[in-house]
């Protein structure tokens, strides 16, 4: 187990270093001058040059990389060019929206996907299976911004149960905040649920054809017990993998949904920073996201070991 853990940690560290180089390099290549963007069309070339020097953009490349990467090692993520506040403050303000949203969406998606997957697998090849898989096909195919707009028109414009968008902040109370996150969470969860349900089903179908299932049934175990205790547990590895990937996606890849609901989340922060060439925000937030993806993957890897005792002893 220790060897397994050590190997995972080493890989994670290497990935982080590599990612930092790639992120930095890519943003160097992208055209566009943050100083010119901040000053606009009417500013003179000297003014722009002066601001570039102030912002440290005229320093040599390697120096800037080391400065930035060194800062991150000391947990100093730099200051935003446009907002001129520490990046970590911006991230903190956004995470309190994005993280709960991602967790709610993931919980919702899992709560829908597992029963549907189980049901479809246990009805393998029959009418119920076909219907359930048809529905998930629909869920995968529907563009999520369109689905989100449908939800908005139904629940916000017509029924007026929830606001059409925006986020009042947690200071406005848990009730209003959760209300604001309800539609985005549903819009995010359904396509993910569809994917997860399909994965659950195919994993289960495969496991259900194994010999030990036949043995379990032959020794007279009830079907439910076979399904839950023997089949599901053995089918969990692909399911947990997908859930890990989905969580990473939900945390940062939700810029479209955040735009439709104008939520101040992490995805929009990065998007905004890219269009404004707020390089330091892009670099630092992307690194934080890379780190969080790596952590999630690590947790997923470790959970494999929990699910599958063979992995604990490092094959």
Partner 1 sequence: MKIWKTALCAAALALATGTAALAARTDLVVGVVLEPPHLDPTAGAAAAIDEVLYANVFEGLTRIGPNGEVLPDLAESWTVSDDGKVYTFKLRTGVKFHDGSDFGADDVKFSLDRARAENSENAQKGLFAAIDAVEVVDPATVKVTLKHPQGSFLYNMGWGDAVIVSPKSAATNKEKPIGTGPFKFQNWAKGASITLVKSDAYWGEPAFLDKAEFRIIPDAAAAVPAMLSGDVQAFPFFPPDAVAQIKDDQNLKVVVGSTEGETILAMNNKKPPFDQLKVRQAVSYALDRQAIIDGASGGLGVPIGSHMPPSNKAYVDLTGRYPHDVEKAKELLKEAGLENGFKTTLKLPPPPYARDGGEIIASQLREVGIDAEIIPVEWAQWLDQVFTKKDYDLTIVSHTEPNDIDIYSRPDYYFNYQNPEFNKVIDELNLTSDEAKRTELLQQAQKILADDAPVGFLFELPKVGVWDAKLEGMWQNAPIQANDLTKVKWLD
Q: How far is the C-alpha of 107 from the C-alpha of 104, rounded, in Å?
A: 5
The answer to whether residue 228 forms part of the interface with partner 1 (CB under 8 A) is no
291 by Cβ neighbours in 10 Å (0-12 / 13-18 / 19+) ranks as middle
Token pair, residue 205, equals: 């179908």
Question: Per-residue x/- mask for partner 1, residues 75 to 114, rule CB under 8 A?
Answer: -------xxxx----x--xx--------------------
The answer to whether residue 167 forms part of the interface with partner 1 (CB under 8 A) is yes
Residue 163 CB, nearest approach to partner 1 (Å): 5
Q: Can you tell me which residue has the tokens 């479209």?
A: 256
- Among residues 250, 263, 270, 282, the one that binds partner 1 under rule CB under 8 A: 263
Question: Per-residue x/- mask for partner 1, residues 241 to 260, rule CB under 8 A?
Answer: ------------------xx
- The answer to whether 246 touches 140, Cβ cutoff 8 Å, is no
User: 63-70 long-range contacts, Cβ below 8 Å, gap at least 24?
Assistant: 65/21, 65/24, 68/24, 68/280, 68/283, 68/284, 69/20, 69/24
Q: How many residues bind partner 1 (CB under 8 A)?
A: 52
- Among residues 198, 261, 285, 287, the one that binds partner 1 under rule CB under 8 A: 261
The answer to whether residue 38 forms part of the interface with partner 1 (CB under 8 A) is yes
Token pair, residue 96, equals: 């309190």
Residue ranges that bind partner 1, judged by CB under 8 A: 30-34, 36-45, 47-48, 50-51, 82-85, 90, 93-94, 145, 149, 152-153, 156-157, 160, 163-167, 169, 259-265, 268-269, 272, 275-277
């Amino acid at each position: 187990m220790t060897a397994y853990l050590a190997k995972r940690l080493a890989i994670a560290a290497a990935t982080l270093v590599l990612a930092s180089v790639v992120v930095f390099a890519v943003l160097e290549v992208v055209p566009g001058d943050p100083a010119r963007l901040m000053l606009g069309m009417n500013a003179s070339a000297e003014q722009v040059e002066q601001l570039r020097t102030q912002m440290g953009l005229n320093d040599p490349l390697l120096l800037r990389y080391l400065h930035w990467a060194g800062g991150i090692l000391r947990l100093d993520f730099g200051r935003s060019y446009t907002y001129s506040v520490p990046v970590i403050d911006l991230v903190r303000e956004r995470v309190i929206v994005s993280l709960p949203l991602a967790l709610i969406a993931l919980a919702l998606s899992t709560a829908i996907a597992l029963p549907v997957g189980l049901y479809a697998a246990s009805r393998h090849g029959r009418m119920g299976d076909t219907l359930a898989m048809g529905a998930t096909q629909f869920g995968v195919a529907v563009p999520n911004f369109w689905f989100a707009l449908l939800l908005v028109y139904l629940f916000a414009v017509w029924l007026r149960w929830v606001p059409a968008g925006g986020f009042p902040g947690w200071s406005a109370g848990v009730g209003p905040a959760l209300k604001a996150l309800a539609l985005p969470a549903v819009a995010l969860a359904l396509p993910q649920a569809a994917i997860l349900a399909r994965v659950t089903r195919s994993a289960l179908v495969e496991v259900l054809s194994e010999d030990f299932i036949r043995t379990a049934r032959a020794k007279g175990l009830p079907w439910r017990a076979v399904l839950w205790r023997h089949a599901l547990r053995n089918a969990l590895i692909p399911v947990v993998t997908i859930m890990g990937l989905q969580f990473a996606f939900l945390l940062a890849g939700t810029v479209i949904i955040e735009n439709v609901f104008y939520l101040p989340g992490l995805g929009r922060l990065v998007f905004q920073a890219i269009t404004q060439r707020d390089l330091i925000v892009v670099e630092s937030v992307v690194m934080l996201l890379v780190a969080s993806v790596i952590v999630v993957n690590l947790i997923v890897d470790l959970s494999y070991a929990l699910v599958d005792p063979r992995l604990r002893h490092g094959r």
